[in-house]
Amino acid sequence: MKISHLSLRSTPATRLFWLSAVGCSVFLATASIGLQPASGATADISRWRSIWETHPAFWVSLGVGLGAYLISAWIWSLRQREPAAVLFAVSGVLTLLFSFSSVFWLVAVPLPDYLFHVAAMVNMLSASGFGIVMVCLFLIYPRRLPGWKPLVVGVTIGFGAWSLVRTVGPLQNFADVQRITFYEMLAIMITIIWQVVSSGKDPRQRAIAVWLGASVLLGAGAFIVTVAAPLTFGYDPLILENYAFSFFLLIYVGLAVGLARYRLFELGGWAYQILFYVSAAILLLGLDVAIIRLLTLEPGTALGLSLFLVALAYLPARDVFWRHLSRGRRRAKATLFQDVVAAALQPGTDQRAGRWRGLLKDHFRPLELTALAGMGAVSLEIGEEGLSMTIPCVADSPALLMRYPYDGRALFSPRDLSNAEQMVVLMNHAEASRGEYDRGVSEERTRIARDIHDNIGAQLMMALHSEEKGRKDDMIRDTLADLRDVVNNAENALLPLDDMLADLRSETADRLDPHGLTLEWTVDGSDGVTLGAPMIHTLRSLVREAISNTIKHAKAQNVSITVSISADKLELAARDDGTGFDKGKTNRGHGLVNMASRVESLDGQLTISGGAEGTQIEASLPVRGTRT
């Protein structure tokens, strides 16, 4: 049982449960006092006052005290060994005490005088203790300031002695609690400003310090303006003190977020937005009061004029200031697009990787940019509470780790993550486009080389062997015309099959005649058929390459070419009666490879066979032409 008990006590959820139970019990006990009737305390609930009969400030005080206590208990339950969390928890208990002790003047049930005296003492000591603890907390968090130890001792002794002197003894003056609180709030604000200044070299600590500064400025500053400062200088508070306690909840929420380090990389942006809104509200109230006092206008008129002046002066100034803060961290999308495309279009892999790294350096200005070699798949994400960001493999570059962005003065934010994601997507798209372009260039080079080898080479060889000068000139002119077609790649042209076959028959006969070869030419079904340029070029190239191989290697006497066309298929057969070839010993040169490549590009089939009876080349191509 003892082991089980210790195990339960060490669980954060269990600690939070028991602490919450204690706080809620105190809340219910105090609330029951507030609901007691004016006739006297009673256990009969039916005689108690309703909630609506009590003063609203009563419930505001109880809500603030319980809320601050629960928030601090939650953080302490998670981080009980951290000094900052311990001080935060102590401040929560003190807030509960001074908030709850302030409500006894708002109840209807008669209470003994000594209870009011005790409540006043508790209120003064706990309120002063809250200020002392907060100053000590900000002396050590988010970082320990220089000389924090003597400062903690000095703050504790100074404000503690002042509070004790005014709480007990001959110099007792409970009203002086507001003066003490006023100077404690000033000390808190000075300390948090010191934290912001001293944490400039650590972006994580700076983000927390700026966030806490905004929370304290809003919470403590509002309490000073509405209650502490007026009472200190002899004026009436602007609002009831119990209502002003609610400002402390803002400090607790800010501290809880900072201590829990929740979404640390967004705290800086949140803090500046809070400061903007608070400054707008303060400016509006200040103008309203000044206009009422100086121009003696009605409150409604003064408020309208204040709103106009705020909109006219504050909003443009806010916009200029915000752009100044974010200057250098944002790039125009057009510029970013140009830089990414320029990186993707670098000629070599090393150049692309280097340009990509340079682009990341220019955009995010990290102090460290290292390659993550051998890390496997890396996702695009923020790490180390905004201190680093990982970039996946892109642009022939390995995965990268960026740390300390913007010259080490800030953290990576969700906006930075979104920008990096856009850059990666854009680079991948540019890379894919460049890859398609490179493939297109390669395919075009292959096509030109293939056409020159199959067609132009065969025609030039035929012209070379021609003995008639006029015929040779005509053949060279035809070759030049074909060369222009090869370069221009007139893919969309529809050409009559009969005309091409007639020219090809004449050309083939002229090539075979000097070598003493006999041609047998058979065509079936070509009347009125027009085919696209790719099909025409392929058919012509197959015949020319087959004839070239026969002339060079076959030692044949006869050659036959058969072309047969049906509704959906064109079949070509080229045969000779030469020596044939052995597939196992034949080296497939450019000609045979080009023939196969051409047929495959048109979704056709090519068969090459050879033996003692000669060589046979058969091609079957799907017809995509028209018949007239």
pLDDT tens per residue across span 8-27: 456 777 888 888 899 999 99
* 575, 553: one domain: yes
Average pLDDT, the chain: 77
Which pLDDT value is given to residue 298?
Answer: 56
Q: How far apart are CA 31 and CA 29, in angstroms?
A: 5
* 429, 509: one domain: no
Residue 85 in any domain: the answer is yes
* 510, 548: one domain: yes
* 134, 228: one domain: yes
Residue 481 in any domain: the answer is no
* 178, 51: one domain: yes
Residue 149 in any domain: the answer is yes
* 160, 28: one domain: yes
Residue 394 in any domain: the answer is yes
Residue 445 in any domain: the answer is no
* 412, 371: one domain: yes
Neighbouring residues of 234: CB distance < 8 A, sequence distance ≥ 6:
none
* 61, 174: one domain: yes
**pLDDT above 80 for 468:** no
* 76, 173: one domain: yes
pLDDT in tens, 330-349: 555 667 777 777 777 777 77
| End-of-domain residue from the set 327, 352, 374 | 327
pLDDT-based confidence at residue 584 (cuts at 50, 70, 90): low
* 143, 230: one domain: yes
pTM of the model: 0.54
Give the total number of structural domains in the chain.
4
CATH, residue 42: 1.20.1070
| End-of-domain residue from the set 327, 343, 360 | 327
- What's the rounded mean pLDDT across residues 118-130? 91
* 159, 224: one domain: yes
* 415, 529: one domain: no
CATH, residue 546: 3.30.565.10
Residue 598's domain spans which residues? 494-627
- Residue 240, phi-psi category: left (phi > 0), alpha (psi -120 to 50), beta (remainder): beta
Q: Are 103 and 62 in contact (CB under 8 A)?
A: yes
Residue 136 in any domain: the answer is yes
Q: Which residues of 471-502 are buried (b: 16+ CB within 10 A; e: fewer)?
A: eeeebeeebeebbebbeeeeeeeebbbeebbe
